[in-house]
Structure 1
Amino acid sequence: MQIKFAAQDAPSLPLTLLSPDTLEGWLSNQAPQVQDWVKAMGFTASFGTALAIPGGDGQIAAALAGLGDAASRARNRFALGAARTQLPAQTYHLVSDLDEDELNAEVLGWLLAGYKFDRYCAQSGSLADLKCPDAVIAEKQEIIAAGETLTRDLINTPASDMGPPDLEDAARALAKTSGASIGVIEGDALLKQNFPMIHAVGRAASRAPRLIDMRWGDAGPKLTLVGKGVCFDTGGLNLKPGSSMGLMKKDMGGAAAVLGLAHMIMALKLPLQLRVLVPAVENSVSADAFRPQDILMSRKGLSVEINNTDAEGRLVLADALALADEEKPDAIISMATLTGAARVAVGPDLAPFYAQSDASAIALESAACVVQDPVWRMPFWEPYEAMIEPGIADLDNAPKGGFAGSITAALFLRRFVTETPNYLHFDMYGWQPSAAPARPKGGAGQATRALLAALPKILNL
């Protein structure tokens, strides 16, 4: 699927973006018949509404889209994306007095509203098109939308077609189109090359576990992205109930997010050296499955007691993070659908994150507000370190008690990043539970646009 702007030389109709505060002023400058039509149709410029205005010949001559008031905008995102689904399927050019940041966010929302997951079923209906406003860089917004599309497509694809080999294929396709190099360590080779926990988690599945390693760029600061690629999570021998297993195709949402972000970075040709690590596994049940109370050795040399086989994501990430840390890059960023505790804490909209560097956290929070990609900082709370130390091994993968589940998972991961001070971890959800403007129900990228905007400050580009 390609999400693009209309050609700049295409015939188009004006689409005026208004708020309740600016509607009356705009109306006062219109012909009486336009004023009468807008009032008769009850258009008040409320959030995400749209109205087509007929000309003298009965054809559509123009259209309006509502931004809503400040209160409604605080509770929603992407008013223009919402309006797109209500407009007649014409080509428009935008008339707006928004500032640059607001305009970029709204125009991206328009593009993202065009997303459809049509791999298995044709999606009917055509949408309105928009010519890119002069103040917006069309190529950049299309690249960002393409990265988000990649993330959504990967998450939405069921495990029958998105197992570890398929995730590898997706990474290889991205590497090929982007001029990146890629290597894969698969199956028992993981043991030979010292990735014992990735192997342990994935060995029970019929499709072999693997570590995907992609590199791009040969100059600039070094950035390593690590994404959890658990293509389906049964919970292992600590089997999930059916109600908890229903969405586990999305447990590779961290991998999908870092691949989407990698597309943005490479297509925009950011001046950095990028590495992407994806441990791709299925957490399955068989006679060979790893067990509760097993003690696994990690690449880092730390021993880990398994107190719940359903806390497998942190195990595969740990080996990948240890590899990333050996290179001592300028920043390491991990993204994972890691804990239910994070969802209980902040719900599905916010992407909770942990940061070693206050400067990186501040840059990320500022960028997230600008690009309307919300995040929320959580603490690496030192007093909870004892909770992940079982005594019989260096680390416990699932501390008992149920307290601070997202924090203890983040502290666990941090034990494997000892040489890279600038470490950020995202405990994301990766799913839109119900349709919202520019975000249909299904797979969703989180924090990737915020990270893209914050990278210049995180890496001192």
Structure 2
Amino acid sequence: MTVHIVKIQEKHSRPVWLVREDPQNIEALPPAAQAWLQAQNFEGREGEFTLLPAGNSEIGGAALGVGKGDNPFAAGALAKMLPEGAWHFENAADVDHLALLGAMLGGYQFNRYRAENTEKNVTLTVPAHLDDQELSRQWQAVVLARDLINTPANDMLPDALEWAVGSVARRYKADFAVTAGDDLLRDNLPLVHAVGRAGAVAPRLLDMRWGREDAPKVTLVGKGVCFDTGGLDIKSASGMLLMKKDMGGAANVLALAQMIMDAKLPVRLRLLVPAVENAIAGNAFRPGDILPGRKGLHIEIGNTDAEGRLVLADALALGDEEAPELMLDMATLTGAARIALGPDLPPFFTADEALAARVIHHAAAQCDPLWRLPLWQPYMKRLASRVADINKTTNDGQAGSVTAALFLSRFVEKAGAWAHFDIYGWTPVERPGFPVGGEAQGIRALYALVQEKYGK
């Protein structure tokens, strides 16, 4: 199903009410509708849905329960429940941005590999007090991230990810450069090369620039591991089932970049995506190897299954050389983050208190949850190596998300402010507006952050 939005109500549009679990809320409906709801024992519980008769054997409207009103995306259930056709919110004044965005996102389906067309078209009128362009901008960004993550690795290896980034770059007339294969060594990106050299498709660094050169520099970095076998420290079969989503960081920063460019925010935007496959072959990097990085540090490889931080290290070092005012990276980096906070609440790390406060504010305002975890400096010693400048993993496996963030922090010095987001990029259990599958996490909050800081 697809939920379209229109600014002008269509002639044969039918009304839908969002009804809270409150008798007074039901009493606001027309008498005939109230009588029908009472006959159906409709109480407004979240997810409760009923069609309302028109009196001529046709559908006259619909009602959806939104419970106590504590789930702003409860209207996401509408997409699957409303019959095809044009609809409008009869209690439009009670419908906010998140409710309508939830209804739009609830209609998402990933049908690329389905022979049968299961699409159902529903049209919703945007209430006059809401911004239809902003709704479309955010919806399109989330759909982009979901589509990229949901695409399996046989169609989403580094060359396909390059095409996706290039398509967005062309749409917004951004500059786009690619460094691939052995040219990574020429351009001093040895970690990206080392991680991806065993893949059937050459590794590459994707570099997109947009905006006035004299505008404040905002740099986004996304982990683009298109599939992760774990390398020679191979994952189990079950551990590989969702590894197509290991490029979720790249998908999310690309979607965030698209929103920034579409809104024409006055920034000098740079997007860096190291795109690789962590595969197994005779030339794969090994446990115990010591690899040089762009920053000049030598890194001991404690485990080949923690490769994301390696490609991010080179990309962060490259982005940091320009001393951007703000640098944000996103990565499906550690299982430890999911053990600590679960799949729906990504942690973020920053040493900048002002930045942390604004991230927390916008995460709450946009209902795009993020939770700060500490860059606990005493744990840096757990990354010590007897034979190299740093080990990329610890020996005890404790505080894995924190130590991964600390590792990345070694490659950021000049940026005015930096934050790292350890996202999951996947919705494992369906809820209104959020079907099972690839997910955009944190990008609406970060878009609001950039908009607040640099918008007109």
Q: TM-score, normalised by structure 2?
A: 0.95
- Whether the 8 Å contact between 2:4 and 2:122 is mirrored in structure 1 is no
Secondary structure of the corresponding residue to residue 128 of structure 1: strand
Task: Give the alignment of 1:2-81 within 5 angstroms.
Answer: 4-6=4-6, 8-11=8-11, 12-21=13-22, 23-27=23-27, 30-31=30-31, 33-69=32-68, 73=70, 76-81=71-76
Structure 2 counterpart of 1:198: 192
CA distance in 2, matches of 1:457, 1:46: 36
- Identical counterparts, % of pairs: 47
Tell whether 2:282 aligns with 1:283: no
Shift of 1:2: 7.7
Structure 1 counterpart of 2:420: 425
CA distance in 1, matches of 2:242, 2:29: 52
Tell whether 2:183 aligns with 1:189: yes
Q: Which deviates more, 204-213 or 127-136?
A: 127-136
Structure 1 counterpart of 2:86: 91
Shift of 1:98: 6.0
Secondary structure of the corresponding residue to residue 365 of structure 1: helix
Structure 1 residues 29 and 283, CA, compared in 2 at 3 Å: closer, same or farther?
A: closer
Structure 1 residues 331 and 84, CA, compared in 2 at 3 Å: closer, same or farther?
A: same
Structure 1 residues 432 and 443, CA, compared in 2 at 3 Å: closer, same or farther?
A: same
Structure 2 counterpart of 1:222: 217
Q: Which deviates more, 407-416 or 451-460?
A: 451-460
Structure 2 counterpart of 1:144: 138
Structure 2 counterpart of 1:269: 264
Secondary structure of the corresponding residue to residue 160 of structure 1: helix
| One-letter identity of the residue aligned with 2:278 | N
Shift of 1:457: 4.2
Shift of 1:432: 0.8
CA distance in 1, matches of 2:185, 2:151: 29
| One-letter identity of the residue aligned with 2:110 | F
Shift of 1:366: 1.2
| One-letter identity of the residue aligned with 1:52 | L
Could you give the per-residue CA deviations for residues 18-52 of structure 1, whole angstroms, max 9, x where no partner exists? 2122x435426632x43221111121111132222
Task: Give the alignment of 1:242-321 within 5 angstroms.
Answer: 242-321=237-316
Structure 1 residues 207 and 18, CA, compared in 2 at 3 Å: closer, same or farther?
A: same
1:332 corresponds, among 321, 327, 333, to: 327
CA distance in 1, matches of 2:294, 2:285: 17
| One-letter identity of the residue aligned with 1:405 | G
CA distance in 2, matches of 1:133, 1:48: 22
| One-letter identity of the residue aligned with 1:19 | R
Shift of 1:414: 0.5
Structure 1 counterpart of 2:349: 354
Structure 1 counterpart of 2:172: 178
CA distance in 2, matches of 1:95, 1:359: 41
Structure 2 counterpart of 1:438: 433
- Whether the 8 Å contact between 2:2 and 2:120 is mirrored in structure 1 is no
Structure 2 counterpart of 1:409: 404
Structure 1 residues 446 and 280, CA, compared in 2 at 3 Å: closer, same or farther?
A: same
CA distance in 2, matches of 1:406, 1:159: 25
Structure 2 counterpart of 1:241: 236
Structure 1: gaps spanning 5 or more residues: none
Secondary structure of the corresponding residue to residue 276 of structure 1: strand
- Whether the 8 Å contact between 2:3 and 2:103 is mirrored in structure 1 is no
Shift of 1:192: 0.5
- Whether the 8 Å contact between 2:19 and 2:25 is mirrored in structure 1 is no
Shift of 1:57: 1.7
- Whether the 8 Å contact between 1:49 and 1:83 is mirrored in structure 2 is no
Shift of 1:127: 4.8
Shift of 1:92: 1.4
Q: TM-score, normalised by structure 1?
A: 0.94
- Whether the 8 Å contact between 1:302 and 1:395 is mirrored in structure 2 is yes
CA distance in 1, matches of 2:257, 2:264: 10
Shift of 1:62: 2.3
Secondary structure of the corresponding residue to residue 20 of structure 1: coil
Shift of 1:3: 5.7
Secondary structure of the corresponding residue to residue 85 of structure 1: helix
CA distance in 2, matches of 1:25, 1:119: 41
Q: Which deviates more, 253-262 or 60-69?
A: 60-69
Could you give the per-residue CA deviations for residues 64-112 of structure 1, whole angstroms, max 9, x where no partner exists? 2222015xx3xx551111133222223111133766xx71111100111
Could you give the per-residue CA deviations for residues 306-337 of structure 1, whole angstroms, max 9, x where no partner exists? 01000100000000000000000111100000
Structure 2: gaps spanning 5 or more residues: none
Structure 1 residues 28 and 212, CA, compared in 2 at 3 Å: closer, same or farther?
A: closer
Secondary structure of the corresponding residue to residue 166 of structure 2: helix
Structure 1 residues 201 and 268, CA, compared in 2 at 3 Å: closer, same or farther?
A: same
Secondary structure of the corresponding residue to residue 5 of structure 2: coil
Shift of 1:399: 0.8
| One-letter identity of the residue aligned with 2:67 | G
Structure 1 residues 2 and 174, CA, compared in 2 at 3 Å: closer, same or farther?
A: farther
CA distance in 2, matches of 1:43, 1:128: 24
| One-letter identity of the residue aligned with 2:165 | A
Structure 1 counterpart of 2:102: 109
CA distance in 2, matches of 1:237, 1:439: 35
CA distance in 2, matches of 1:299, 1:29: 65
